[in-house]
Amino acid sequence: MKKAKDVNEYLAAVPEPAHSTLQKMRAMIRSAAPEATEAISYGMPAFRHAGRALVAYAAFSNHCSFFPMNAALIAAFKDELKAYPTAKGTIRFPVDKPLPAALVKKLVKARVAENERKKPR
């Protein structure tokens, strides 16, 4: 995939069913953090909040990934994530089925809270 200049361009280049799955992820993240702004970070769609990276997501050939931008968060939610392959900074899920909305909301809200704590006063 060529490097996208914005999130819409990135998503336009993603084939189905991953395209629809990522659109759902995008909507879930927006819903959980409406004040966050979108950007491309490390070549992936991402959200920023309080001047910091919040979360990112991406499509790959055999899976999609959600990046909470904090490996400790994956460990903190390990029981809720046991159905998904995880690595140091990523949660993988099928190209045709996004993560559950309730789980995404919890992860995003946890990241918002972290960013708020780190925000300069």
Q: For the domain that residue 31 is a member of, what is the CATH number?
A: 3.90.1150.200
At 118 the pLDDT is 82
Q: How many domains does the chain have?
A: 1
Q: What is the pTM of this model?
A: 0.94
What pLDDT, on the 0 to 100 scale, is given for residue 1?
A: 60
Q: In tens digits, what is the pLDDT along the chain, a chain of 121 residues? A: 678 999 999 999 999 999 999 999 999 999 999 999 999 999 999 999 998 999 999 999 999 999 999 999 999 999 999 999 999 899 999 999 999 999 999 999 999 999 998 876 6
Residue 1 domain-assigned (yes or no): no
CA 121 vs. chain centroid, Å, equals 27
Evaluate whether residue 113 is within a structural domain. Answer: yes
Cβ distance 52 to 93 under 8 Å? no
